[in-house]
Amino acid sequence: MRRLLLLPALTAALLTACTGTEEVTYAVQLNVLTDTDASGRATGLRALNTDGGAVNTVTVAGGVQVLPTSSTRRVITVRTDAAETRAPDGSDPQPFADPGFTPCYTRAAQDAARTRLLLLSECSGVQRAALFDSASRTLVWSALLPTYLPPVTTTDTPPTRLAVQGDVGLITRARLNGGSEVIRVAVPTTGGSAEASVPLAIPAVFDLAPYGGRLLAATATGIQALKTTGEPDSATTLAAFGAVRYDRLWTGGASGTLLAAWRSDVLAGTGDTPLRLWDGAATTAATVATLSGIRDLTLPSDGKAYVLAGSGLNRYDVTLGLSTGNWAPRTLTTLTAPLSIAWTVPTTTP
């Protein structure tokens, strides 16, 4: 009987000895846009495992952003002239529908469930928005935005940001006389084509993110929920992050309850600034690390956070960090000019 019990272990040992390697199965995979050119667009899409090992690299033209999909089996790549979903290794591009105009895509955003994709096109000063169904890649609506008169850009000028909730798109952009302005785009209740609202002057908004059934804005006085008009509501400031400024927001995790926030080190005038993470329940957001030059961040369903900071891809153990304070930081690899990161579930081979 003891000989029979030993057979499985012995067989596994022999297989390892014969091949010299032991296959590791990864729950998720990473996709990173890298090698940005003089225009700030990426020219390569790298598929990496969550230990930083290379899986595949494909060439892209004018890479803007990568985003996960609701199915998690494909990744969205947004380029200046098109958007598509791809297999986890970057192959098999399947394009989103024609938006009805020649696009110059510059930014993208998703709703909390990742069922809608909102794209902003900026061609020669003309801004248009297009909303797509992510699963079918079909166009829901497109709209011309009101004429934009941007202020002189400084390091402190609020960036243009997007958010989507249901079939409603929101765009915030810097206002000529200071602060930001918000535009709401939706199909009227009476039907017809999507319409853009008159820009509404609001306090400066530095980032937007869907979280907990609301849209959140990073402002100079904290992270606040948006009113239905698109204006930040100071009465909803998240106490866990304090009434201080943040410049970037990210959401994710297995149940969508994680919220990460970071203030740009360029604006703070310091070498490193805290990356903070909240689980939606604690009284105070935890500090994951102090970092400079964060380009992007993704929070998959594997209990980790993957951060593009400078040229490094860093991993932090969120599950361990929230429970013990030990984030087990590790730099997985160094990349050439990384721009954006997303996650997928790799295809398993029988």
Give the model's pLDDT for residue 273: 93
Question: Is the predicted pLDDT of residue 13 greater than 70, yes or no?
Answer: no
pLDDT in tens, 299-334: 999 999 999 999 999 999 999 999 999 999 999 999
Mean of pLDDT over the chain: 92
Cα–Cα dist 218/2, whole Å: 63
Question: Is the predicted pLDDT of residue 128 greater than 80, yes or no?
Answer: yes
> Which of these, 26, 123, 31, lies nearest to 74 by C-alpha position?
31
pLDDT in tens, 50-67: 999 999 999 999 999 999
Cα–Cα dist 8/193, whole Å: 64
Give backbone dihedrals phi and psi of 165, rounded to 5 degrees, phi first.
Answer: -140, 115
Whose tokens are 């700030």? That residue is 40
Give the model's pLDDT for residue 106: 98
Contact 248, 218 (CB under 8 A): yes
Cα–Cα dist 236/224, whole Å: 5
pLDDT band at 21 (very low <50, low <70, confident <90, very high): low
The number of CA neighbours under 13 Å toward the Cβ of 348 is: 8
Predicted TM-score (pTM) of this structure: 0.92
Give the model's pLDDT for residue 268: 59
Between 255 and 296, whose confidence is greater?
296
Could you report how far apart the first and last alpha carbons of the chain are, in Å?
Answer: 31
